[in-house]
A and B are shown apart, each in its own frame.
Chain A
Amino acid sequence: MADAPLQHPDADKLTGMEHEKQYDFQLPEKYFYKSEKGLNARVIEKISYFKGEPQWMLDFRLKALDIAIKKGAPKWGPDLSGLDFDDIYFYIRPQEKQGTTKSWDDIPEEVRNTYQRLGIPEAEQKVLAGVGAQYESEMVYHNLKEEWEKQGVIFLDTDTGLKEHPEIFKEYFATVVPPEDNYYAAVNSAVWSGGSFVYVPAGVEVDVPLQAYFLLNAQQIGQFERTLIIVEPGAKAHYIEGCTAPTYDSDSFHSGVIEIIAKENSNVRYSTIQNWSHNVYNLVTQRAMVYDNASMGWLDGNLGSKVTMKYPSCYLVGPGAHGEVLSIAFAGDGQHQDAGAKVIHAAPNTTSSVVSKSISKGEGTSSYRGLVQIHEGATNAKSNVECDALLLDETSKTNTYPYIEINEKSAHVGHEATVSKLNEEQIFYLQSRGLAEDEAMALIVRGFLEPVAKELPLEYAVELNRLIELEMEGSVG
């Protein structure tokens, strides 16, 4: 990549207006260790060394690097030509010691202040069962309320999970998303760092959410968290992930892998509200194995980022398993949101529902890319896909790529797609009731998203609305 800054002509507007002060942070770069740029075996060995990992994990990482090199980047999907691995720091270690703290006071003040501005410690007290906070490549804070710890729930950063619970870890790690799965999963497997390790014992219902919050601060950083969630039979968990980064002229890279194992009769939800700045490539693999009569729900809010490629998947491998993917994408000026869902019906009586809502504005593009696959023998499978796109103006674009593969006669599969444009009559109507034009537009957009937003816990629905309003600023013209 040349040195020319990849700055959008409206960069000032994007950074100045569209991100309220809360998200407008840039901390001085102070690190214990910053890797050389680029992806190679030296960097991987350093990562493993600092973490004090067992040999098998280093071997796993090096093998994943080989797989990544052999596979090469995918040729389909959005333009990723601006993403140059040789210009990315694959590992930045904020502090010397490995492991997280249970007290916000132990976190460097500037970092703590940023989390405070985002309201994380406050939310932790009020509405969450536990919180993890990742800064650059490492988790710096992780805490689970005592009542859950007593019931055997484990909520740790993934590195600590590997150290303290090697048996559980080894049994499940990389079984849902092996490095061979796709190029970015291989890259993540090679350099993964941080993320959450969640284990909920059989029958334990964690009815308030666990949350992890990911911050990128450095320029040209790559963040590769690895989250592993195991929910035993009859148990229940809701995990929420939030993320943000300051805006720089140069690009950053976020490529997480999330693996979920939802055992028999369990109920698992994973919600993401991502608010990356507009210079982040966000390429994430999220997948769940869903066993007999278990229910898995992904709720995916994609705001921000430069390019997002994310297709949360449910592999319905046990009879009666249910999978749900609800997603929202907002593609503002210069952004490309390529999001969707993947549902594999591999057992009888499995059901799935996909609802995707996208909004595009200015030079933004949003695409729905989805796969519904019904295997032979997966009798009476039912799947319904609904994707709705809203265009805010004449220049924005939307695409739909639905793939449906049915190998079972008894399957019921429905697919519905709509594209609508922001309606002048609606705006006039709402204005005639006293709402200013931008308020009217925001209200129409909120209404469009309501079927998905209502599935979020109240605090997050409010947050989502606020983020949408920020993205909408400057839409009136």
Chain B
Amino acid sequence: MSENRLEIRNLHARIEGGAEILKGVDLVVPAGEVHALMGQNGSGKSTLAKVMAGDPSYEITDGDILIDGESILEMEPDERARAGLYLAFQYPVEVPGVSIANFLRLALNARREDDDEIGVMEFYEKLQRAVKELNWDESIIERNLHEGFSGGEKKRSEILQLLVLEPKYAILDETDSGLDVDALKVVSQGVNAARGANFGALVITHYQRLLNYIVPDKVHVMSDGRIITTGEKELAMQLDDKGYDWIKSEVASGAAPA
């Protein structure tokens, strides 16, 4: 069972030809757990998320990323997705003319053998369950992917996709940013619905607020391209009260575990 985890080992990465952004990230999210990743703007959180998903604009110079013990470094973004990884984007793109229903059916079938496409009824039941979970109107599935969506609707769509695609490991990149409290509750409800023994998640956020609704098993703090400390869920509250400079000096003085 110890193999069932998402693991990042000494990961170094940069924008192709640019300065190093990730300077040796080590992180483990075991299956069945939800971890929070907190840090200031520019600490490298979103870069880490995109590098894990295989964004081609980044170059990995050292280290490894493993799903259940298997390196995914050489895999294309779609192969990583099929291996069980999911990224909820901070800024989901619009794809005009492609309905959510059509898109998700294609994405699901991409995970299955050619002769084993998902049945139409089975698919719609699954999709409708997810739509209900997010208190959304059913008509949403016929809308084109993010075309004319508000910021909040786009975030909700990211969680809808997560519920339908059922990945093993999900990274949520600032899914809370730009959400009002009601939207935050709905999105959190969706993530909590996905929780279970076979699901691990890394929830990236600036603020402790989201973690009131998605209670993490561990909290990691990132600064200048590294994880500087890891603690229990209380660490998020302390960070909210005392700020990032506090944790940096705690780590420097040895008061917090590095």
Residues of chain A touching chain B, judged by Cβ–Cβ distance below 8 Å, are: 423-426, 428-437, 439-440, 443-444, 446-451
List 19 other contacts, CB 8 Å, given A423-B93, A429-B92: A426-B95, A428-B77, A429-B93, A430-B95, A431-B78, A432-B54, A432-B80, A433-B78, A433-B103, A434-B81, A434-B110, A435-B106, A439-B78, A440-B78, A444-B95, A447-B95, A447-B96, A447-B145, A449-B97
The contact string, 1 if C-beta is below 8 Å from chain A, for chain B 73-102, is 000111011100011010011011110000
Q: Are A450 and B97 in contact (CB under 8 A)?
A: yes
Q: Are B98 and A433 in contact (CB under 8 A)?
A: no
- Given the complex, which residues of B lie within 8 Å of A426, measured CB to CB? 93, 95
Taking the closest CB of chain B, its distance from the CB of A472, in whole angstroms, is 15
- Given the complex, which residues of A lie within 8 Å of B86, measured CB to CB? 432
- Given the complex, which residues of B lie within 8 Å of A432, measured CB to CB? 53-54, 77-78, 80-81, 86-87, 89
Alpha-carbon separation in the docked complex, A447 to B147 (Å): 11
- Given the complex, which residues of A lie within 8 Å of B108, measured CB to CB? 434
A-B contact pairs, 29 of them (CB 8 A): A424-B57, A425-B93, A426-B93, A428-B55, A428-B77, A429-B95, A430-B103, A431-B54, A431-B76, A431-B78, A432-B77, A432-B80, A432-B81, A432-B87, A432-B89, A433-B78, A433-B81, A433-B103, A433-B161, A433-B165, A434-B78, A434-B82, A434-B108, A434-B111, A435-B106, A437-B76, A443-B103, A450-B96, A450-B97
- Given the complex, which residues of B lie within 8 Å of A436, measured CB to CB? 76, 78, 110
- Given the complex, which residues of B lie within 8 Å of A423, measured CB to CB? 93
Interface magnitude class on chain B: 20 to 34
Alpha-carbon separation in the docked complex, A446 to B106 (Å): 13
Q: Are B78 and A451 in contact (CB under 8 A)?
A: no
B98 touches which of A424, A428, A434, A450 (Cβ 8 Å):
A450
Residues of chain B touching chain A, judged by Cβ–Cβ distance below 8 Å, are: 53-57, 76-78, 80-82, 86-87, 89, 92-93, 95-98, 103, 106-108, 110-111, 144-145, 161, 165
- Given the complex, which residues of A lie within 8 Å of B54, measured CB to CB? 428, 431-432
Alpha-carbon separation in the docked complex, A443 to B80 (Å): 19
Across the interface, name the chain B residue whose C-beta is closest to A429.
Answer: B93
- Given the complex, which residues of A lie within 8 Å of B106, measured CB to CB? 435, 439, 443
A-B residue pair count with CB separations less than 8 angstroms? 80
A434 touches which of B56, B93, B144, B165 (Cβ 8 Å):
B165
Alpha-carbon separation in the docked complex, A272 to B109 (Å): 31
Alpha-carbon separation in the docked complex, A103 to B153 (Å): 57
Alpha-carbon separation in the docked complex, A433 to B97 (Å): 17
Q: Are B107 and A433 in contact (CB under 8 A)?
A: yes
Alpha-carbon separation in the docked complex, A423 to B53 (Å): 18
Ranked nearest first, the 3 interchain pairs of A and B with the lowest CB-CB distance are A447-B97, A450-B97, A431-B77
Across the interface, name the chain B residue whose C-beta is closest to A440.
Answer: B78
Alpha-carbon separation in the docked complex, A184 to B90 (Å): 55
- Given the complex, which residues of A lie within 8 Å of B98, measured CB to CB? 443-444, 446-447, 450
Across the interface, name the chain B residue whose C-beta is closest to A425.
Answer: B93
Across the interface, name the chain B residue whose C-beta is closest to A443.
Answer: B98
Alpha-carbon separation in the docked complex, A457 to B103 (Å): 21
Alpha-carbon separation in the docked complex, A450 to B97 (Å): 5
Across the interface, name the chain B residue whose C-beta is closest to A426.
Answer: B93
Taking the closest CB of chain B, its distance from the CB of A449, in whole angstroms, is 7
Across the interface, name the chain A residue whose C-beta is closest to B55.
Answer: A428
- Given the complex, which residues of B lie within 8 Å of A443, measured CB to CB? 95, 98, 103, 106
Taking the closest CB of chain B, its distance from the CB of A326, in whole angstroms, is 14
Alpha-carbon separation in the docked complex, A429 to B106 (Å): 14
Alpha-carbon separation in the docked complex, A425 to B53 (Å): 13
Alpha-carbon separation in the docked complex, A450 to B95 (Å): 11
Alpha-carbon separation in the docked complex, A423 to B57 (Å): 13
Taking the closest CB of chain B, its distance from the CB of A244, in whole angstroms, is 26
Q: Are A435 and B110 in contact (CB under 8 A)?
A: yes
Across the interface, name the chain B residue whose C-beta is closest to A445.
Answer: B97
Across the interface, name the chain A residue whose C-beta is closest to B81.
Answer: A434
**Of residues B80, B97, B103, B161, which shows the largest number of chain A Cβ atoms within 10 Å of its Cβ?**
B97
Q: Are B96 and A448 in contact (CB under 8 A)?
A: yes
Q: Are A428 and B56 in contact (CB under 8 A)?
A: yes
Alpha-carbon separation in the docked complex, A272 to B81 (Å): 39
Alpha-carbon separation in the docked complex, A425 to B98 (Å): 16
**Of residues A431, A434, A440, which shows the largest number of chain B Cβ atoms within 10 Å of its Cβ?**
A434
Alpha-carbon separation in the docked complex, A372 to B122 (Å): 49
- Given the complex, which residues of A lie within 8 Å of B111, measured CB to CB? 434
Alpha-carbon separation in the docked complex, A435 to B97 (Å): 17
Taking the closest CB of chain A, its distance from the CB of B161, in whole angstroms, is 7
Across the interface, name the chain A residue whose C-beta is closest to B107.
Answer: A433
Across the interface, name the chain A residue whose C-beta is closest to B109.
Answer: A434
**Of residues A425, A429, A433, A449, which shows the largest number of chain B Cβ atoms within 10 Å of its Cβ?**
A433
- Given the complex, which residues of A lie within 8 Å of B77, measured CB to CB? 428, 431-432
**Of residues B95, B103, B111, which shows the largest number of chain A Cβ atoms within 10 Å of its Cβ?**
B95
B78 touches which of A437, A447, A448 (Cβ 8 Å):
A437
Alpha-carbon separation in the docked complex, A124 to B33 (Å): 58
Across the interface, name the chain A residue whose C-beta is closest to B104.
Answer: A433
B97 touches which of A424, A429, A451 (Cβ 8 Å):
A451
Alpha-carbon separation in the docked complex, A350 to B44 (Å): 59
Across the interface, name the chain A residue whose C-beta is closest to B88.
Answer: A432
Alpha-carbon separation in the docked complex, A426 to B92 (Å): 9
Taking the closest CB of chain B, its distance from the CB of A455, in whole angstroms, is 13
Taking the closest CB of chain A, its distance from the CB of B140, in whole angstroms, is 17
Alpha-carbon separation in the docked complex, A260 to B13 (Å): 63
Taking the closest CB of chain A, its distance from the CB of B25, in whole angstroms, is 19
Q: Are B76 and A434 in contact (CB under 8 A)?
A: no
- Given the complex, which residues of B lie within 8 Å of A448, measured CB to CB? 96-97
- Given the complex, which residues of B lie within 8 Å of A439, measured CB to CB? 78, 106, 110
- Given the complex, which residues of B lie within 8 Å of A447, measured CB to CB? 95-98, 144-145
Across the interface, name the chain A residue whose C-beta is closest to B112.
Answer: A434
Alpha-carbon separation in the docked complex, A437 to B54 (Å): 13
**Of residues B53, B76, B78, B144, which shows the largest number of chain A Cβ atoms within 10 Å of its Cβ?**
B78
Contacts known (A436-B110, A449-B97); A424 close to B56, Cβ less than 8 A: yes
Alpha-carbon separation in the docked complex, A120 to B103 (Å): 30
Across the interface, name the chain B residue whose C-beta is closest to A442.
Answer: B106
